[in-house]
Structure 1
Amino acid sequence: MRRALRIALVATALLPPAAAARAETLILSLSSRRVQITQSYTGAELVIFGAIERDARSVARPGPFDIVVTVKGPRGQTVVREKTRFGPIWVNLEQRKFPLAPSTLSVLSSRDLVDIAPPEMQKRYGLGLANALGADNAEPRFREALIRLKREQGLYVENPRDVTFISGDIFRAPVPVADTAPVGTYEVTVSLMSGGLELTREKTSFEVSKAGFEQTLSTAARQHPWLYGSITAAIALAFGWLASVIFRRD
């Protein structure tokens, strides 16, 4: 009996503090779990609805609840090159590879991140664009360049105060999906914060896929690459010949 009690106490002691003292949970719902890219697609917006559920162990928190939503698109290798200008030409100097960089990245929060948690806690929990990229050996200037370039393309977005509380424990957050967003699975992580600490987090996901004529072309290119390439080349030649006939000068 004593041995069993000792084992139970040791197991409890080994639990992470958040798990042992967790008194809140998150319940999430997406307005849609699929975004379809059609010929007229110009971008979309999903809405995350969430509720904070408390149990009997809930205690008074030193500050208000805050929500941070991080949405990561399909991962892939991204190369950032440093260039310099020699006269009329640009020359590549150094480059860094980000093998698992998210193709798109959105960070939405109920307040400015600096007001939610100090920088060291943001790094610990992966909050913010730079921290959400994950650990790697890239120099800060290359990480900053990657974020800057992606932001200019509209693929990396940080919107503080985009998460709004409808009532005390119910919130909503609009999730933008860019018109250039790639197809694949998008990971959504919602962190519940209070007093600079993460109380709990919950994950969900949605899919971006092609539909209609775009899906037909994508399937044909994937399943019959040689036939697809031949037809594409033939169409290009036909349009080139037709243009030469129309604009030919006698």
Structure 2
Amino acid sequence: MTARALLVLAGLLGAILATSPALAERLIVSVSNHRVTVTPNYAGEELVLFGSVERDADTPPGRTNYDLVVTVVGPRADMVTRRKERRFGIWINSDYRQFLQVPTYLALFSNRPFDQIASPEVQRRQQLGLNNVLLMQRVSGDYADVVPDDVFRSAFVRLRTEHGLYREETSAVTFLTPTLFRTTIPLPAEVPIGTYNVEIKLFTDGALVTKADTAFEIVKVGFEQFVANTARQNGLAYGLVTAAMALMTGWMASIVFRRD
């Protein structure tokens, strides 16, 4: 590379650095447990997310009006929501909507309502709140998200919320000091297995300042893990053993309850 080319490259880098905003804050975060084990008597758990806002010399003096949004996303999967109708006295599935690679667990926590943190445009862009989270669907041969009050989308979110797998809490993040914060992440008994990504976004005066990421994992152990591995890796053997156990149970029940 010639000296002239080096000078041009240095000038371009200088211009990029000059126009890039300096990060005046950064987030230091962690969770109380990075590996949650699911045993046969698992009944749910709560993790604690805690952290701090690290300020530097570029931070405007006196700036402490921070807002925090925590988004927890579990493993993704395809799911279906069905609509039932009563016809001739019988409830049947009349229509359905397929949701593509959506979170099996989704939680959004903040220190105050989202509409007090940012404008509607920023909320949509940063996906603040369940109504703004992108839930890709197959709609009439197309792939898109739909309006929040769509009947299938609303039913999907409602059903996940009733099982504790989708949640939105706008007073769950607590600032212990102007820069220290904490929140809890509830995990219900039927929590899906897999890796959970946690994104923490820091706002001030309606604008995103910085963000950080962490993660934790939920795994099965013991007999449940053995059964899950067998079903996944040896499907035929698992099916045969399950059928044999069902036949054995039925035979034993017929003996116990046999009338002489």
TM-score using structure 2 length: 0.87
Cα separation, 1, equivalents of 2:57 and 2:64: 19
TM-score using structure 1 length: 0.90
1:246 aligns with 2:256: yes
User: Residue 215 of structure 1 aligns to a residue in which SS?
Assistant: helix
* 1:150-209 Cα distance to aligned partner (Å, 9 max, x none): 111221011111111122211111011121111111010001111111111111111000
Share of identical aligned residues, percent? 42
Cα separation, 2, equivalents of 1:135 and 1:125: 16
Cα separation, 1, equivalents of 2:13 and 2:167: 46
Which residue matches 1:99?
100
Q: Tell me if the contact between 1:63 and 1:195 (Cα under 8 Å) persists in the aligned partners.
A: no
1:147: Cα distance to partner?
1.0
Which residue matches 1:67?
68
Q: 1:171 aligns with which of 181, 190, 205?
A: 181
Unaligned runs of 5+ in 2: 138-143
1:41: Cα distance to partner?
0.1
Greater Cα shift, 36-45 or 60-69: 60-69
User: Residue 192 of structure 2 aligns to a residue in which SS?
Assistant: coil
* 1:77-97 Cα distance to aligned partner (Å, 9 max, x none): 122233433342334444332
* 1:46-80 Cα distance to aligned partner (Å, 9 max, x none): 11111100111001477711111100110011222
Q: 2:164 aligns with which of 140, 154, 158?
A: 154
Which residue matches 1:29?
30
Which residue matches 1:139?
146
Cα separation, 1, equivalents of 2:229 and 2:51: 36
Count of residue pairs brought into register by the alignment: 246
Unaligned runs of 5+ in 1: none
Cα separation, 2, equivalents of 1:227 and 1:56: 64
Change (3 A) 1:223 1:149: same
Q: Tell me if the contact between 1:61 and 1:194 (Cα under 8 Å) persists in the aligned partners.
A: no
Cα separation, 2, equivalents of 1:139 and 1:74: 22
Which residue matches 1:113?
114
Change (3 A) 1:128 1:25: same
Which residue matches 2:140?
none
**What RMSD in Å do the two structures reach over aligned CA positions?**
2.1
Cα separation, 2, equivalents of 1:12 and 1:92: 58
Q: Tell me if the contact between 2:135 and 2:145 (Cα under 8 Å) persists in the aligned partners.
A: no
Cα separation, 2, equivalents of 1:219 and 1:190: 33
